[in-house]
Copies of this chain bind each other. A is one copy, B any other.
Amino acid sequence: MAFTFQINNDVVWDYDKNLLDRAEANIPRLIETEIHPIGIVERISEKQRVNDFELIKSDKNSLSLSDYSLGRGESLILDLGDHYVGQFSIDIASVGSPMDAPLYLRLKFAEVPSELYADSADYDGWLSRSWIQEEYIHLDVLPAKLQLPRRYSCRYVELTVIDTSPKWKASFSNPLFIAKSSVSVDQLPKVTIEDDELKAIYNVSVKTLLDCMQTVFEDGPKRDRRLWLGDLRLQALANYYTFNDLFLVKRCLYLFAGMHTTEGKIPANVFTEPELTPDDTFLFDYSLFFVTSLYDYIEHTNDYDALENLYPIAKRAVDLATKQVDNEGRLVLTEEWPVFVDWANDFEKSTAGQAIMIYTLKRYLKLAEAYNEPEKAVYQQLLDKMIEFSKQSLFDKKQRQFIVEETNEVNVASQVWMVLAEVFDTKKNQKIMQETVKQHFPIKGIATPYMYHHVVEALFIADCSEEAIKLMKDYWGKMIELGADTFWEAFKPEELDFSPYGSPILNSYCHAWSCTPAYLIGKYLLAKE
């Protein structure tokens, strides 16, 4: 997430200290790994596309870094060999006559080569340029160990000497990247994936998830490092099939439970630094995903203590959403509390929203049963009414597709979410998805792995495994083909240089919501082997 913002200054918040204390008690101690660069790159060469670069390795590559000395305007690139999240340090000395001026150094940290090629001065988008991973450093006295206090998300570190003086140059040694995550690859279950393409997709998914798992499930470790609910839901699912770090999921659920509006509305995201703070952004579907994420967690862990503590929060969230449902069982969305579904805003989202509410209510009813909710029947009636409305008023039998009520628009998201909500049985779902494939594939106009995830899962649910696998390979596989070490926040196979921010320099190339093939493969393919 990130490509949305609201300002709501008049929100009144309810903080539950008890729940937040439990969240804070589960802060993980991050695992640190020393990473030494595997190579030196002297320059990058632009090919045709933004995400398509060639790294020109140095002839001197067999030499050690300290054999390079850089004067005014000279630079080199260190290649860490893979994507990592953490902190960087390097020793710097002066070579030549005595150091008669400070060293002025620029460091760029890049997840992909195209970021190195982009000039940050050219960036002119709405998203804050403060996210650009670029530091300007003066060092008055050398030798020195430069130990940068900030955290970076990168594979490449570019060192550019902006200036020394004509009398001396700068020499570098002992570059060290301390990679951080709440989990380690040692925690992964042993899995055998015969298909090489799927195996690669699985591995990159797992790396993406690992790099996003810090003191919360982060959205993107390079940029927008917050905990978002919609992303947490997907990360938690991928986590259950891989690292299975239950404490981090628990912590994140308690964070959302501990900070909501006085009326019970759960924010789309929260901050944890400098103190626990809910963001004033509200998305209808993200609020409901607190309920489904709690369901997934309880189902996976049987942690009834958590159910006891968090069920009342889930109930209030459902109750608040229920107010948006009219007597006919129609979800009526408002501008103040929009449904997200996807970044794209060129399709109508009301039918998808209706489906997400149904999807949620089904899971909520299971939680209600476990909690011995006395008013369970009320929610069951609501669910039935919403399903009935969907079948009667939103499904076009002739087209075998769900429509948007007033416009009759047929879009991918409506089908996908109605299938995920299992409004119809598998047989009918299969027909719907087959029709979707026929009408809408190859997909156009969707830029998020988040939406692609839901399409793939809908295909699996609807017994269209072959199409599901093909779509995974076409989409996530294509990113690997383009050199992805981790999966990207945004990717359009039909528009390879797409950036929602006007420059690759602001794109997040390791993004939470892109890690789901680990879950999809784990749940729908590995379990069957």
- Among A129-137, A283-291, A292-300, A301-309, which stretch is in contact with chain B? A129-137
Taking CB as reference atom, which chain B residue is nearest A94? B274
Quick check: A98 and B130 within 8 Å, CB to CB? Answer: no
**A101 sits at the interface (CB 8 A):** yes
**What residues of B have a CB within 8 angstroms of the CB of A138 in the complex?**
130, 135, 150
Q: Can you pick out 25 interface pairs between chain A and chain B where the beta carbons lie within 8 Å of each other?
A: A5-B165, A5-B166, A72-B128, A97-B279, A98-B271, A98-B278, A99-B271, A100-B226, A101-B223, A101-B224, A102-B130, A103-B130, A104-B128, A104-B130, A128-B163, A128-B165, A130-B162, A130-B164, A130-B165, A135-B136, A136-B136, A141-B273, A141-B274, A142-B274, A144-B274
Quick check: A280 and B98 within 8 Å, CB to CB? Answer: yes
Taking CB as reference atom, which chain B residue is nearest A126? B166
Chain A 88-125 against B: per-residue CB contact (8 Å), 1 yes, 0 no?
A: 00000000111111111000000000000000000000
- A101 and B132 CA atoms in complex are apart in Å by 10
**A62 sits at the interface (CB 8 A):** no
Decide if the interface of chain A is mainly helix, strand, loop or mixed: loop
Quick check: A97 and B7 within 8 Å, CB to CB? Answer: yes
**What residues of B have a CB within 8 angstroms of the CB of A96 in the complex?**
7, 9
Interface size class of A (residues with CB under 8 A): 35 or more
Chain A 126-168 against B: per-residue CB contact (8 Å), 1 yes, 0 no?
A: 1111110001101011111000001100000000001111110
Quick check: B164 and A128 within 8 Å, CB to CB? Answer: yes
Taking CB as reference atom, which chain B residue is nearest A280? B97
**A277 sits at the interface (CB 8 A):** yes
Quick check: A277 and B98 within 8 Å, CB to CB? Answer: yes
- A142 and B141 CA atoms in complex are apart in Å by 29
Quick check: B5 and A167 within 8 Å, CB to CB? Answer: yes
Chain B nearest CB: distance from A146 CB in Å? 12
- A280 and B131 CA atoms in complex are apart in Å by 43
- A163 and B129 CA atoms in complex are apart in Å by 6
- A53 and B167 CA atoms in complex are apart in Å by 35
Known contacts A128-B164, A167-B5, A273-B140; decide if A100 and B135 are in contact (CB<8 Å): no
**What residues of B have a CB within 8 angstroms of the CB of A131 in the complex?**
101-102
Q: Which of A393-448 contact B (CB under 8 A)?
A: none
- A142 and B275 CA atoms in complex are apart in Å by 10
- A273 and B97 CA atoms in complex are apart in Å by 14
Quick check: A162 and B98 within 8 Å, CB to CB? Answer: no
- A166 and B4 CA atoms in complex are apart in Å by 11
**What residues of B have a CB within 8 angstroms of the CB of A8 in the complex?**
97
Chain B nearest CB: distance from A486 CB in Å? 21
Chain B nearest CB: distance from A401 CB in Å? 38
Q: Which of A174-203 contact B (CB under 8 A)?
A: none
- A5 and B151 CA atoms in complex are apart in Å by 40
Chain B nearest CB: distance from A129 CB in Å? 5
Quick check: A128 and B99 within 8 Å, CB to CB? Answer: no
Which 9 A/B pairs are nearest by Cβ-Cβ distance?
A: A104-B130, A101-B128, A136-B136, A102-B130, A128-B165, A130-B163, A128-B163, A129-B163, A141-B273
Q: Which of A507-522 contact B (CB under 8 A)?
A: none
Chain A 327-346 against B: per-residue CB contact (8 Å), 1 yes, 0 no?
A: 00000000000000000000
Chain B nearest CB: distance from A170 CB in Å? 10
Chain B nearest CB: distance from A150 CB in Å? 6
Taking CB as reference atom, which chain B residue is nearest A102? B130
- A167 and B277 CA atoms in complex are apart in Å by 14
Taking CB as reference atom, which chain B residue is nearest A161? B130
**What residues of B have a CB within 8 angstroms of the CB of A5 in the complex?**
100, 165-167
Taking CB as reference atom, which chain B residue is nearest A9? B97
**What residues of B have a CB within 8 angstroms of the CB of A102 in the complex?**
128, 130-131
**What residues of B have a CB within 8 angstroms of the CB of A279 in the complex?**
97-98, 100
- A274 and B150 CA atoms in complex are apart in Å by 26
**What residues of B have a CB within 8 angstroms of the CB of A162 in the complex?**
129-130
Quick check: A129 and B104 within 8 Å, CB to CB? Answer: yes
Quick check: A167 and B7 within 8 Å, CB to CB? Answer: yes
Chain B nearest CB: distance from A210 CB in Å? 21
Chain B nearest CB: distance from A147 CB in Å? 12
**What residues of B have a CB within 8 angstroms of the CB of A104 in the complex?**
128-130
Quick check: B126 and A101 within 8 Å, CB to CB? Answer: no
Chain A 247-258 against B: per-residue CB contact (8 Å), 1 yes, 0 no?
A: 000000000000
- A41 and B167 CA atoms in complex are apart in Å by 39
Chain B nearest CB: distance from A249 CB in Å? 23
- A7 and B165 CA atoms in complex are apart in Å by 11
**What residues of B have a CB within 8 angstroms of the CB of A224 in the complex?**
100-101
**What residues of B have a CB within 8 angstroms of the CB of A99 in the complex?**
271
